[in-house]
Each structure stands twice: as C-alpha cells, then as structure tokens.
Amino acid sequence: MEAVLTHLREAIERGDLTAGDRLPSEAQLSREYQVSRSVVREALRGLQALGLTVSRTGRGTFVTASGPPENPTFGGYSAQHLLEARRHVEVPVAGYAALRRSDEELARLTGLADRMDAETGEAAWVALDSQFHVAIARASGNPVFAKVIEEIRDALARQSAFLNRLGDRRRASNDEHRRIVAAITERAESVAVAEMATHLDHVEQTLITIVRPARETDAETRPTA
C-alpha cells in the first residue's frame, strides 16, 4: 500500500497528474501495480487523507491539489490548533489523573490499553484510542477537562486514523499509552506529564513527516558545498 501511495503521490507532486485529472479505476491500478484492489483502495484513501484527491460517487477519484496541505484539518480543527490545545490540556491532565484516579478508573485505562494491544481492526483501534484519552481526562477528577476532550473526540479519532494510515503509528502509540498508564498506576505525576508530552511530540513529528516527506526534509537540511 505504501509503495502504491508513494508512487501516486509523487506523480501528483511532479505534475504528471494535475488538479481535475481523474485517476485510473481501482481495477486498472490493481493491474498496473500488480496488487489487490483492497491495497489500491487503501492507497486511494491515503491520498484523500492527504488532501490530494477527492472521491466522487459513480465518477471516480479526482486530483484536487498538487501537494498536501501544510496544516491538515481533522473534524474542523487544524492539526496545529489541535496539537496546541492538546498540549495545554492533556499534558497537565495526565498529572492530575496520576494524583486523583480511582481504582475503577485505573482498571478502565488498563483495560483499554490491553484491548488496543490486541485489536487488529483499524476503525476499532481508533475508537479505543479516543476512549483512552477521554478516560484519562475523566480520571483527572475535573469535569471541565473531561468536557473539553469529549468536545474534540471526533477530531482526535480522525487524526488518529490519519496517522495510522499514513504514518504506521499504532504500535508506537500502544507503547506510549502503556507508559502513561504505568505512571498513572504509580501515582507519579511528573512522569505521567512527561510521558504524555512525549506522546504528543511523536504525534506532531509523524504529522510533519507525512506532510513533508523525509526526502524533502533531508534536502532542506543537507549542507551545501
């Protein structure tokens, strides 16, 4: 899927495919790349997530831009705004959760982490991920924090799906979630804060890598002769 996605993305960014062009059908792309139609479908979803194409029912997939947006949106919120808000809310919330969580709330967090480790379905994992972040906010003991995270829950789910599809974040997220739960279990406020901050740092870095591929970033930072 990544190979097909990369090839199509590069064709769009080079200008081989321009805004308004219709991509070949799933069947044609499947034959061209010698992969299953399900692989092609996932690659096309990735292009849509990047804002490069749009799917029109009964008509096909059309190119909408020459390059991905620098600041993609999730549920009406830009990635930049979402991350800024999450840093100011979820980082201190993790510390409060470590200090105030009940045994029942800890059991729920642990259970959600277990289920995410075992889950293989993308949509189900994304739903569990948003539940996990809401559960931490509730464990903080402050209903205002819980309300804020509930408000952006759909945006969190959309962002999570984007990162998983294009950045393969699931395994790393599971590990980071485990470390957050461990800190909350030990009532280690400063550690919980640090682990949540690290989690969001990795989210941001993955977003940057997706929007601005490593080869582009390398070219910009490579010293000149």
At residue 222, the pLDDT reads: 40
CATH code, 167? 1.20.120.530
Handedness of CA 106, 126, 216, 30 (dihedral sign): positive
pLDDT in tens, 7-33: 998 899 888 999 999 999 999 999 999
Q: Which residues contact 156 (CB under 8 A, 6 or more apart)?
A: 74, 82, 129, 130, 133, 149
**How many angstroms from the chain centroid is the CA of residue 164?**
5
Task: Tell me which residue has tokens 């940057």.
Answer: 208
- For residue 52, which of 18, 85, 89 has the smallest C-alpha distance? 18
Rounded to the nearest angstrom, the gap between the alpha carbon of residue 80 and the centroid of all alpha carbons in its chain is: 13
The pLDDT, as a whole number, for residue 25 is 93
Q: What is the pLDDT of residue 213?
A: 60
**If we measure between CA atoms, which residue out of 45, 54, 6, 52 comes closest to residue 158?**
45
- The verdict on 48 and 6 lying in the same domain is yes
pLDDT of residue 215: 44
Q: Give the domain CATH number at 23.
A: 1.10.10.10
Q: How far is residue 127's CA from residue 133's CA, in Å, rounded to a whole number?
A: 10
Instruction: List the beta bridge partners of residue 77.
Output: 74
In sequence order, what DSSP letters do the residues of 122-159 get, joined into one string?
A: HHHHHHHHHHHHHHHHHHTT-HHHHHHHHHTHHHHHHH
Structure confidence by residue, pLDDT tens digits, 87-96: 999 999 999 9
Judgement on whether residues 99 and 171 belong to the same structural domain of the protein: yes
Which of 33, 63, 93 delimits the end of a domain? 63
Identity of residue 141: G
Do both 25 and 77 map to the same domain? no
Domain count, the chain: 2
pLDDT at 220: 46
- Specify whether 78 is located in the same domain as 174: yes
* Tens digit of pLDDT at every position of the chain (225 positions): 888 988 998 899 888 999 999 999 999 999 999 999 999 998 898 888 888 899 898 899 999 987 767 778 888 899 999 999 999 999 999 999 999 999 999 999 999 999 999 999 989 999 999 999 999 999 999 999 999 999 999 999 999 998 988 888 999 999 999 999 999 999 999 999 999 999 999 999 999 988 876 444 444 444 443
- Look up the domain containing 113 and give its range: 73-211
Kindly tell me the number of DSSP H helices and DSSP E strands found in the chain.
Answer: 11, 4
Rounded Cα distance, 33 and 142, in Å: 52
Are 45 and 117 part of one and the same domain?
no
Distance from C-alpha of 125 to C-alpha of 31, rounded to nearest angstrom: 31
Let me know whether 31 and 89 are in one domain: no
Check whether residue 51 and residue 135 sit in a common domain. Answer: no
Q: Which amino acid is at 111?
A: G
The reply to whether 93 and 134 lie within a common domain is yes
Q: Using the structure block, give the residue that is written with the tokens 């620098």.
A: 70
